[in-house]
Amino acid sequence: MSAARTRYSGPIKQAEVHPHSLIEQGFASDEALAAILDRYPAELFDINLYDYDEAGQVSLRTGARGRLNGEELLAAIQQGRLWVNLREVETGWPELWAAAMAEFRKVQGAYPGLRAVRNAGQLILSSPRARVPYHFDAAGVVLFHMRGRKRIFVYPGDEAHLAEADMEQVVSRQTTEELPYSLAFEADAQVMDLEPGQALTWPIYAPHRVENLDRFCISLSMDFQTWPSRFRNGALYTNAVLRSRGGQPRMTDRMTGPELAARWAASLALKRVGGLKSRIAHFERDFEPEIGAADGAGALRA
């Protein structure tokens, strides 16, 4: 394992906790959540159920929004084993988003040189025993934790834990964000327990996974792009295209700033001509949330 937690230099050198005040502002109460679940657009829901084998390998079932009202859906999550993600908080819950952006600016201020150029948020409601598999986000992340307790495992973003060829597949949407994972990685994890009122950030691209600690959890996951992350993502995309054509592109961590910028510019042109078609299938749904059903997952209804 390398001493650095990431091979990509950036203002955030290790996982660190910051305070936030989103709970005091009332965004984590059952009443506020039931009300927002009632009016949140159905197409912005991801409902997942993760299972793991003894080697830590994950399998995924996906849920439809279903017809429970907000209060019932909340109860199904609290009793079940579901992971519910409300995308685009910036449009779905503008009041929370405005408050979260104010908190983000304070976190950003703690890192000289960190300048986000685009932010987006997902509100995550998850069951007491839900676990999120090993993955990375092609962005910076601040996880504002609002209810329950979570254990976050952050791993070094080096080639052994996060091969660039795998990153290319994710960035070019040839696969979902799950990465090759081995239990041996656990020896290299930085492990942190997150309490309500704490926000966690980590080095850009660092792979991570999450275990809820026996309580219903609410977090706002805010991701952000900087110009360096845009250049990096563009370079990874261009490398994915080159590799799909039989090339053996150089790793982006060996590239200079101008080279990365040139590869980013190339990625824009490649995307315009449809360089790589997304291979992420439109999931067939496996279940819909149901109070009292095993894991909170009931049968799909027509």
Cα 53 to Cα 159: distance, rounded to the nearest angstrom: 25
Residue among 90 and 259 whose Cβ is closer to Fe ion: 90
For residue 177, state whether it binds Fe ion (rule: CB under 5 A): no
Q: Record the tokens describing residue 48, joined without a space.
A: 């997942």
Scanning 26-34, 102-110, 132-140, 284-292 for contacts with Fe ion by CB under 5 A, the matching segment is 132-140
Scanning 40-48, 134-142, 252-260, 283-291 for contacts with Fe ion by CB under 5 A, the matching segment is 134-142
Q: Record the tokens describing residue 35, joined without a space.
A: 């009300």
For residue 137, state whether it binds Fe ion (rule: CB under 5 A): yes
According to DSSP, the residues that pair with 288 across neighbouring strands are: 298
How many of the chain's residues bind Fe ion (CB under 5 A)?
A: 1
Residue among 136 and 237 whose Cβ is closer to Fe ion: 136
Residue with nearest beta carbon to Fe ion = 137
The DSSP secondary-structure symbol of 6 reads B
Residue among 137 and 166 whose Cβ is closer to Fe ion: 137
For residue 223, state whether it binds Fe ion (rule: CB under 5 A): no
Residue among 137 and 168 whose Cβ is closer to Fe ion: 137
Nearest distance in Å: CB 136, Fe ion:
7
Closest CA to 275 of 239, 229, 248: 239
DSSP letters spanning 91-104: HH-HHHHHHHHHHH
Helix ranges restricted to H, 19-163: 30-39, 70-79, 89-92, 94-109
Residue among 85 and 174 whose Cβ is closer to Fe ion: 85
Cα 263 to Cα 79: distance, rounded to the nearest angstrom: 47
Nearest distance in Å: CB 212, Fe ion:
14
Site residues for Fe ion per CB under 5 A:
137
